[in-house]
Amino acid sequence: MVWGAFITDSVWNRYENKIKTLARITKSKGAYPVFVVEPFFPNIYENKDQFSKQMEILHRVAKKENVGLVDPYPVLYKKRDSFIFINDSVHFTIFGNQIMADLFIAVIDQILQKNFKQSFNKFDVKKEVNPL
């Protein structure tokens, strides 16, 4: 997709169908998909409509297909005056990475609790990730 290009409803319908198919195939293999709304610097500082349709579709499909969703925008918007992105407006600083990691952990923890009756709280995450 080229940003700023003319996008018709049929393109959005195909996108939505592909996202649904991805969720269904992933679940059929016994995995738990997690969709991620891509963070992008200008969207945090400005209300860009060009991303709203894509975000709307991801939210709708995630809810309908009962899959995880990481949407960093509410948190990143609140922290928009912090040092979240490096100068290229795409890559995170260590602070931005920590915010994203916390959001991923929260969504994965919900999946563990719902499907396995377990939580990250039962694991020593640092020990599991870095056994040294």
Angle in degrees, CA 61, 65, 67, rounded to 5 = 90
Residue 46 has pLDDT above 80, yes or no: no
Question: According to the model, what pLDDT value does residue 86 have?
Answer: 80
Which one is predicted more confidently, 39 or 47?
Answer: 39
Predicted local confidence at residue 82, as pLDDT: 79
Q: What is the per-residue DSSP string for 53-95?
A: HHHHHHHHHHHHHT-EEE--HHHHHHTTTSS-B-TTSSSB-HH
Q: Determine which helix (DSSP H) or strand (DSSP E) holds 70, and give its type and residue range.
A: strand 68-70
Residue 34: phi, psi to the nearest 5? Answer: -130, 115
pLDDT, mean of residues 92-105: 92
């939580």: which residue's tokens? Answer: 119
94-112: average pLDDT: 91
Q: CA distances (Å), 109 to each of 21, 32, 46, 57, 67, in order?
A: 24, 12, 31, 23, 13
Q: Where are the domains of the chain?
A: 36-129
Please state the rounded mean pLDDT for residues 82-98: 83
Helix, coil or strand: residue 123? coil
Residue 93 tokens, joined: 């600083």
Question: Cα-Cα-Cα-Cα dihedral of 98, 2, 13, 7, to 10°?
Answer: 130
